[in-house]
Amino acid sequence: MAIRNVLAALVFAQAAFVVAQPYPVKPVRLIVPAAPGGGTDLVARVLAQHLDEALGQPVVVDNRGGGGTTLGATVAAKAPPDGYTVILHHTSLALNATFYRHLQYDALKDFAPVTLVATQPFLFVVHPSLPVRSVCDLVALAKTHPGAIAYGSGGTGSGPYMGAELLKQSARIDMLHVPYKGAGPAMIDLIGGQVQMMVATMSLALPHAKSGRVRGLAVTSTKRAAAAPEFPTVGESGLPGYDYTVWYGLLAPAGTPKPVIARLNQETAKVLETREVRDRLSTQGLETISDSPEAFASHLQREVAKWRRVIEAAGIHAD
């Protein structure tokens, strides 16, 4: 019993020492649950570059792709809750909470939200040969010809897939899903006319929409995108209530001391307010955003509940 008491006292003392130290006193690992080169990696590297100076310590990006982002999320969830491991995650954290039946972490219980970082809408695009000029036209055509419109995606459960699935459920229409090994190949086939529609990220779709290779119909957010204000929202196009915005957020393992969370929140907010960071991300169709840990936690809860309804209604699961 005495040995147990001594060990417990040592653990407590060590935890107290970590909290008492000025934070941070060593490099911070920023996990990206995706391979280098993607949207999440871009946001993380821009953030890390500027947090270096703000925190006074290196912020090292650690790419842990695999398992539809679940591998990196598992590593982050199981890391020591001392503030020296954080993760830059996105909407898939909420999607995967239902999409995967067996996860080694709980999206709501095993993370301490720090702040939202950025948001990005998708863009509804169609092949120019499709006789539609708006989402309202697209819905009407799909109702007239159920299952005739083929839409491409990066695979079941991917962002483009979920955006189209949300449209199907919201408008009560049926379309044919054609999965690809990534959003890039799906866009190539959309341009070639092998599929007729796609819900694509702004960074992927906008150049092709501006060139006329595809026709842009509407953005998926509740307000027009600063990068392409000429496109109406889906709500403005006749389907009120539709909202599908990809978000990126910073989280730490659950149990990370609140003073550490507060410091990360404050410094990240300052970085996101700089014109250099705003301009760098806006070129990719991203809008910087920051909020309190509590607000981000509430946002995550709403997202998990929203996508649980969509995924269960679609009857899709990864395992």
Q: Contact 121/202 with Cβ under 8 angstroms?
A: yes
**Residue 141 domain boundaries:** 121-219
Q: Residue 238 has what pLDDT?
A: 86
Residue with more model confidence, 253 or 39: 253
The pLDDT tens digits of the residues spanning 277-290 come to: 999 998 878 899 98
Q: Residue 4 has what pLDDT?
A: 52
Cα radius of gyration rounded to whole Å, the chain: 21
Query: What is the percent of the chain where pLDDT is above 90?
Result: 67
| Residue 18 reports pLDDT greater than 80 | no
108 shares a domain with 27? yes
Of 183, 202, 219, which residue sits at a domain end? Answer: 219
143 shares a domain with 175? yes
Average pLDDT over residues 119-145: 95
Q: Contact 101/198 with Cβ under 8 angstroms?
A: no
Report how far Cα 79 is from the mean position of its chain's Cα atoms: 21
Average pLDDT over residues 241-251: 92
Q: Is 17 left (phi over 0), alpha (psi -120 to 50) or beta?
A: alpha
Q: Which residues contact 144 (CB under 8 A, 6 or more apart)?
A: none
The verdict on residue 233 lying in a domain is no
23 shares a domain with 87? yes
308 shares a domain with 282? yes
The verdict on residue 168 lying in a domain is yes
115 shares a domain with 23? yes
pTM of the model: 0.81
The verdict on residue 116 lying in a domain is yes
The verdict on residue 236 lying in a domain is no
152: domain CATH number is 3.40.190.10
Of 185, 202, 219, which residue sits at a domain end? Answer: 219
Average pLDDT over residues 3-9: 52
The verdict on residue 105 lying in a domain is yes
148 shares a domain with 77? no
Q: Which residues pair with 124 in a beta bridge?
A: 199, 218
| Residue 8 reports pLDDT greater than 60 | no
* Across 126-135, 139-148, 202-211, 245-254, least confident range: 202-211
Q: Single out the residue of 264, 256, 262 nearest to residue 18, CA to CA.
A: 256
Total tally of structural domains belonging to the chain: 2
Q: Residue 319 has what pLDDT?
A: 64
Confidence band of 13 (pLDDT split at 50, 70, 90): very low
Q: Residue 12 has what pLDDT?
A: 53
125 shares a domain with 81? no
